[in-house]
Structure 1
Amino acid sequence: MHIRVLGSAAGGGFPQWNCDSPRCRAARRGRLVSERRSQSSIAVSQDGHHWLLVNVSPDIRQQILDNTMLHPSGAVRSSGIAAIALMDSQIDHVTGLLMMRESDEPLSIYCTKRTEEDLRTGFPIFEMLSHYCRASVTHLPLDGHSIEPDETPGVRILPIPLTSKAPPYSRHRQDPRPGDNVGFVIDSPDTGKRAFYAPGLGEIDDRLSAWMASADIIMVDGTTWTDDEMSKVVGGKKTSRQMGHLPLTGEGGMLDVLADYPLARRILVHINNTNPVLDPESAERARLEAMGIEVSYDGMDIRF
């Protein structure tokens, strides 16, 4: 199984267009150029030709240009992207669908019923696409069963309901239910190994811990280093936990969680532009390296 990280940053990317924090400034002016990141997305394939795009960030056009396996091949109008799976209805995970409106065929999209509802009401992308290529929607199961999209042979994903917040435009923002946000367990039929992917993760319960314990590769939310990071760095009003992201540090933080799985390959995804781990010379990055925890980057290849 092959996973390519297309985008490794949280919403806004790194550097963010309107942010002049020290790290964004350094990335814009030269010192952290190699750490630049686009917004969160991965692509998954078993055969190297048919790719399942997991989330479609606003940066999808550049991500396709940067990853040749997604380029047109054969037909004049074609793509290595065979199907799309959405984990939620967040702006930074779905807006790129509008960039794909030139498709000759309806976009084959897998998402939960709750996500589809948001994308037909609060943020009606599916209705917008109905005037262009259209969207063919298949609901992801939430009953513990896997799904293997017909368009991507050999790629099997198991949706896992997560505790996180629906976006502000969702009609059920204040009424969280299973299906607002999911993680994926991705199985490799060739090796019997599995990866767990969850770029948005607010809480971890025993059920979720069991899935993480079963994974050979754990790719999880690394949005912020501390819970109050946004307010300290850019004057934000919400904590990381209030936004639905478990911070890396603090009691019960993501680093404490990942310490329980030392045998797995552990990779942080969805890194916010305020997070000090974006500086490879920082003490925070050194702490991750000492723990054997990786920071994802755009173009990162994972095979298992």
Structure 2
Amino acid sequence: MRIRVLGSSAGGGFPQWNCNCPNCDGFRRGTLKARARTQSSIAVSANGSDWLLVNASPDILTQIRDTPELQPARAIRDSGIAAVLLIDAQIDHVTGLLMLRERQTPLPLLATPEVLSDLSDGFPITRILSHFCGVDRHELPIDGRTLPVPGLPDVQLQCVSLSSKPPPYSPFRGNPRPGDNIGLVITNPLNGQRVFYAPGLGEITPALLELMAGCSVVMVDGTFWTNDEMQRMGLHSKSAIDLGHLPQSGPGGMVEQLDRLPAHVRKILIHINNTNPMLVEDSDERAELTAHGIEVAHDGMDIEI
């Protein structure tokens, strides 16, 4: 089974279009060692031809162009994208659905009832798509059962409710519900290996840590290096935790949590904000991650299980 990282950045991408933080400014000037990144999304396939798109980034057209496998060209109109799964209703994870409107049949869309409610009312993408290709809705339970994927019989999934926040436009922003944000366990049924994917993660509970310890790969929230990162730069009034993201550094941070996993678990950070110093490949922060055996996802990264 193959997982392709289509986009590894948080909302806005890197460099962000209107940002002149040290990272974005340095990248444009060519004075720092870093890669450009599009907004967070992965694709999963068991056969290399049919793919589950996990999150539909605003950058989806660029990501499809850069991933020839997503266009197998079996017909005059075709796509390797068999279905789309949403882990939340954040704008940087759902706006790309509008770019898939030319599909010839209703788009299989997998999401929790909470996410589907936000996309029907607060940000009515599903209603908009009803005037184009339409949507074939599949509600995701968060009770841990193994789920089939339409058009992808060799992919097995489990959904896990996570502590994070729904998008700012949601009427439940201040009162999060189970199902607003989920993690995804992707299993290869041929060998039993599992990947845990959670680009938005505000807290790691003992139960979640135990689940992660049983996986071959974990791809988790790498948004901010410090809790006050945005505040110190004058870019936001709220901390990382206020925004629903566990920072990498500090007591109880992501690095400390990942250190508790068994040595066999491959650890990858994804959904990286443009302000995060670990984007700079020769930075002290990147060196610290390397010392802890933690990788930083990049667009085009391939993972096989």
TM-score (norm 2): 0.97
What CA distance in whole angstroms lies between the structure 1 residues aligned with 2:285 and 2:19?
A: 21
What CA distance in whole angstroms lies between the structure 1 residues aligned with 2:291 and 2:163?
A: 29
CA gap of 1:73–1:32, structure 2 versus 1, over 3 A, is farther
* Count of aligned pairs: 304
What CA distance in whole angstroms lies between the structure 2 residues aligned with 1:291 and 1:86?
A: 30
Instruction: Please tell me the root mean square deviation across aligned C-alpha atoms, in Å.
Output: 1.1
What CA distance in whole angstroms lies between the structure 2 residues aligned with 1:287 and 1:46?
A: 34
- Aligned-pair identity (%): 54
1:125 match: 125
What CA distance in whole angstroms lies between the structure 2 residues aligned with 1:140 and 1:225?
A: 31
CA gap of 1:33–1:72, structure 2 versus 1, over 3 A, is farther
Deviation at 1:251, TM superposition (A): 1.4
What CA distance in whole angstroms lies between the structure 1 residues aligned with 2:95 and 2:32?
A: 27
Q: Which amino acid in the other structure matches residue 244 of structure 2?
A: G
What CA distance in whole angstroms lies between the structure 1 residues aligned with 2:151 and 2:226?
A: 40
1:292 match: 293
Deviation at 1:263, TM superposition (A): 2.3
Secondary structure class of the residue paired with 1:202: coil
1:277 match: 278
Query: Contact between 1:21 and 1:234, CA under 8 Å: does it hold in 2?
Result: no
1:237 match: 237
Structure 2: runs of 5+ lacking an equivalent:
none
What CA distance in whole angstroms lies between the structure 2 residues aligned with 1:44 and 1:134?
A: 23
What CA distance in whole angstroms lies between the structure 2 residues aligned with 1:107 and 1:162?
A: 26
Query: Contact between 1:185 and 1:196, CA under 8 Å: does it hold in 2?
Result: yes
| Higher alpha-carbon deviation: 265-274 or 26-35 | 26-35
Q: Is residue 253 from structure 1 mapped to residue 253 from structure 2 by the alignment?
A: yes
1:186-241 alpha-carbon deviations (Å, 9 max, x no partner): 10112211010000000111221111111110100010100000111243111000
Q: Which amino acid in the other structure matches residue 278 of structure 2?
A: V
1:82 match: 82
Q: Which amino acid in the other structure matches residue 130 of structure 1?
A: S
Query: Contact between 1:47 and 1:153, CA under 8 Å: does it hold in 2?
Result: no
Matches for 1:135-174 after TM superposition, within 5 Å: 135-174=135-174
What CA distance in whole angstroms lies between the structure 1 residues aligned with 2:68 and 2:34?
A: 20
Deviation at 1:32, TM superposition (A): 4.5
1:102 match: 102
Deviation at 1:265, TM superposition (A): 0.4
Matches for 1:186-225 after TM superposition, within 5 Å: 186-225=186-225
Query: Contact between 2:33 and 2:281, CA under 8 Å: does it hold in 1?
Result: no
